[in-house]
Every structure is written in structure tokens, then in C-alpha cells.
């Protein structure tokens, strides 16, 4: 199972491991709580890759991570989670930090525009 902890989230009651870069880590023996808020993470394609893959240092690395996310079955949930939790680092839901900032800015503008 996969458990992801970010600086903004707490353990969901599962056995957890905090990795240095806050990315998911495979925990074969940990119990899985399918009702947890982050249960979707167990289905993410990133569970098959080293965590550092999703914390690239250049555009090539971002593209590599995006390709992994592209056919991920939980991509939309992952992106919404990162947006809601204001996760600043890494590629989540196929979007870089910069792309997530743009999405949040656009959403704020839409809300203000519709008020």
C-alpha cells in the first residue's frame, strides 16, 4: 500500500512512513484503510517509481513525471488533493508547482469574476 504524508496532512491512521521528500513510499506490510481520505494514493502510478522522480530539478524531469501521471487512474483526485492542500513541491496530478499555481490563480479569478 502507499501512504503519503505531506507537511499539510496528518497520518490517516495507517502505518505511515515519512519520506524525505514527502512523496509516497511503498509499505507492503502496512494495513490499508480504504476509507481514508488518501486511499486513492494506493492506485497511483507513482507507487512504482522512486519518489525523487516526482521532485525533478529541471524541465526534462517534469516531463518524465508528467508522462507517468498521464495515464494514472487517480490523476484528477491527485491534482485536486495537491490544490486543496496547497502542496508547493513536486509533480502531482500531472502538474508542476508552477502549473498548480496557475490553476489556483485562475480559479480565484473566476470566483471573483462571478461574484
Least separation in angstroms between CB 113 and ligand SF4:
29
Least separation in angstroms between CB 105 and ligand SF4:
21
Least separation in angstroms between CB 107 and ligand SF4:
19
Q: Which of 29, 37, 49 is nearest to 6 (CA)?
A: 37
For residues 5 and 72, which CB has a smaller minimum distance to ligand SF4 in the complex?
72
- Judged by the rule CB under 6 A, the positions of this chain that interact with ligand SF4 are 44-46, 54, 68-69, 72, 74-75, 78, 92-94
- DSSP labels for 64-83? HHHHHHHT-TTHHHHHHHHH
Amino acid at each position: 500500500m502507499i501512504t503519503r504524508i505531506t507537511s499539510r496532512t496528518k497520518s490517516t491512521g495507517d502505518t505511515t512512513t515519512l519520506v524525505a521528500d514527502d512523496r509516497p513510499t511503498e509499505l507492503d506490510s502496512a494495513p490499508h484503510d480504504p476509507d481514508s481520505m488518501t486511499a486513492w494514493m494506493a492506485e497511483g502510478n507513482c507507487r512504482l517509481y522512486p519518489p525523487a522522480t516526482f521532485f525533478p530539478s529541471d524541465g526534462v524531469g517534469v516531463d518524465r513525471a508528467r508522462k507517468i501521471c498521464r495515464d494514472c487512474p487517480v490523476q484528477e483526485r491527485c491534482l485536486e488533493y495537491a490544490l486543496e492542500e496547497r502542496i508547493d513541491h513536486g509533480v502531482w496530478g500531472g502538474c508542476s508547482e508552477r502549473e498548480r499555481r496557475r490553476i489556483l490563480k485562475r480559479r480565484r479569478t473566476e470566483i471573483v469574476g462571478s461574484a
